[in-house]
Amino acid sequence: MLWVFKQLCAPCNYLRIRHGSGILASKAVYDFVLPALLTGLTVVVTLALDMRLSVFHNDKFFSSLSGLLSILIGFYMAALAAVATFDRAGIDNRLAGTDAKLRVRDPNGGEVKDKLLSYRQFISYLFGYASFLSFVIYACLLLLGSAWKRLEAVLASKPAVGWLMPDVLDPVSFVVIFFFLWQLFVTSLLGIYFLAERIQELHETKT
């Protein structure tokens, strides 16, 4: 059964791609550093405005976010399909400068080695992950949104654990959801950059 999860979660391989070196001079800036900083800023601003750290207690924000994600899912999948079939000189060349690498297992000998990615492969992984992430966030919001207030009522009726919702569950869910939302936002901007600029500069060269 492990192969099932491996195939379904294949878009997450985007996070395993290495491009550049170090934390602040590599792809990790887009994947983790910027989303973490933006999440921290969101928490600070929310507290400064004396608002509750909860995604599920603001119905207008919740419905707007769900609507936006439902649109983005289609956009990402369309972008993925376009890049996967795009016919342009140089799109199958490796990334200029530092190679983008992904550790993969050789299906023939079983040896684990670095796979050097082309522009097409890198951008496909990027929009594949954006599609996967937006779909997962959307599904989680739908499932949790319908159960969150009921869970809050159940916990509030039990004095021994009544503090869990406002002091633990709400803030933790707020931070986790906003981290992945900001990661989706940053990844989207990176994808738009590749589509709007990097691909336009490609030309046929030997690789």
| Tens-place pLDDT, residues 141-168 | 999 888 888 888 888 888 888 888 888 9
The enclosing H or E element of 114 equals strand 112-116
Contact 134, 69 (CB under 8 A): yes
* φ/ψ (deg, to 5) at 190: -65, -40
Contacts 24+ apart (CB under 8 A), 197-203: 198/119, 199/86, 199/88, 199/91, 199/119, 199/123, 202/88, 202/89, 202/90, 202/91, 202/93, 202/119, 203/89, 203/90
116: number of CA atoms within 13 Å, CB side?
9
Q: Is the pLDDT of residue 90 over 50?
A: yes
190 or 201: which leads in pLDDT? 190
Name the residue with higher pLDDT: 14 or 107: 14
Contact 55, 62 (CB under 8 A): yes
Average pLDDT over residues 126-142: 95
- End-to-end, the C-alpha distance of the chain in Å comes to 38
- The pTM for the full model equals 0.91
Residue % of the chain over a pLDDT of 90: 58
Q: What is the mean pLDDT of residues 124-150?
A: 93
The average confidence (pLDDT) of the chain is 90
pLDDT recorded at residue 16: 95
109 band by pLDDT with thresholds 50, 70 and 90 = low
- Sign of the C-alpha dihedral, residues 91, 95, 97, 99? negative
Q: What is the mean pLDDT of residues 130-136?
A: 96
Contact 21, 169 (CB under 8 A): no
pLDDT class of 182 with cuts at 50, 70, 90: very high
In the chain, which residue ranges form alpha helices assigned H by DSSP? Answer: 2-8, 28, 34-48, 59-85, 119-156, 164, 170-193
**Is 92 in contact with 204 (CB distance < 8 Å)?**
no
pLDDT confidence bin for 204, thresholds 50/70/90: low
C-alpha span between 123 and 14 (Å, rounded): 9
